[in-house]
Amino acid sequence: MDTLFIVRENLIRLFKKHEVFIMPALRFLLGLYVFWVIYGIGHIHPSLEGYVGNFFLVLLLALGFAVLPMTVSYFLIIASLALQYSAHIELAAVIFVFLLMVLLLYARMAPKESILILLTVISYQLGLPYFIPLLAGMYFSAMAIIPVAIGIFIVHFAPIVQQLVATAPMVDVTITEMPDLLTDLYTALLNGFSASNDWIPVAVVFAAAILVVHAISRFSIDFAKEIALIAGCVMMILA
């Protein structure tokens, strides 16, 4: 056990010493993964296919994600997602407005915690969502329940979007047709969410686990962090 503590302390010391280089590198790798996944969605308007989707652009966006402020990096993600659904302009508009509201109302004011939105979505793609409450409770504030809940909602939002894409015709939309199409899309989204609200109990369970891990890990007792992780796991298993 003492050896593990020594190794952990050495790793922490090494990380802090080279943090100025490690953090941009980690953000670059994260951005590379995120934009590569985004550009695999593939519902680009035919007129834009020659301009977006190539690997050089993915590298450029990942570099921007690594060096730009997080608010700007999030905007790059939002714009990229909207472009990927540009074949269905009304759906792209709804996605852009929704994610922009998340950015302006939350992520801009809490850039550190808002990274959990992205990590939650990625954890679901990797099949490791139950690590997120443990990570959030251990290294973030109790307010981490908000970005994690947003991430869970987005994960459950994605299949509804894909279903709408599969059923919506790829046609050019005129300005006069846009109000009717947005009304139909709004109705379809409401019906989809009312039929699938299983994200709510998941968000509640994750929030409880985050609070448990956060509270216990702050106790001034031996092995507080280890006990907190075990308690968080037990909480999620029982829930």
Check: CB of residue 71 under 8 Å from CB of residue 32: no
Question: And the tokens for 213?
Answer: 């891990």
Q: How far apart are CA 187 and CA 114, in angstroms?
A: 29
Q: How far apart are CA 5 and CA 170, in angstroms?
A: 58
Q: How far apart are CA 132 and CA 215, in angstroms?
A: 16
pLDDT per residue as tens, the chain (239 positions): 556 566 666 666 776 776 777 888 888 999 899 998 888 776 776 666 666 657 788 888 899 998 888 888 899 999 988 888 877 777 777 788 888 888 888 887 887 888 899 999 999 988 899 999 999 999 898 899 999 999 998 888 877 777 766 665 555 555 555 555 556 566 666 666 666 677 889 999 999 999 999 999 888 887 788 889 999 999 898 88
Q: Which of 32, 58, 150, 45 is nearest to 101 (CA)?
A: 150
Q: Find tokens 């994960």 and name the residue.
A: 155
Question: And the tokens for 158?
Answer: 């994605």
Q: How far apart are CA 30 and CA 36, in angstroms?
A: 10
Confidence at residue 212, expressed as pLDDT on a 0 to 100 scale: 93
Q: Is the pTM above the cut of 0.85? A: no
Q: How far apart are CA 80 and CA 78, in angstroms?
A: 5
Q: How far apart are CA 147 and CA 136, in angstroms?
A: 10
Other beta carbons within 10 angstroms of residue 151's beta carbon come to 26
Q: What is the 3-state secondary structure (H, E, C) of 58-98?
A: HHHHHHHHHHCCHHHHHHHHHHHHHHHCCCCHHHHHHHHHH
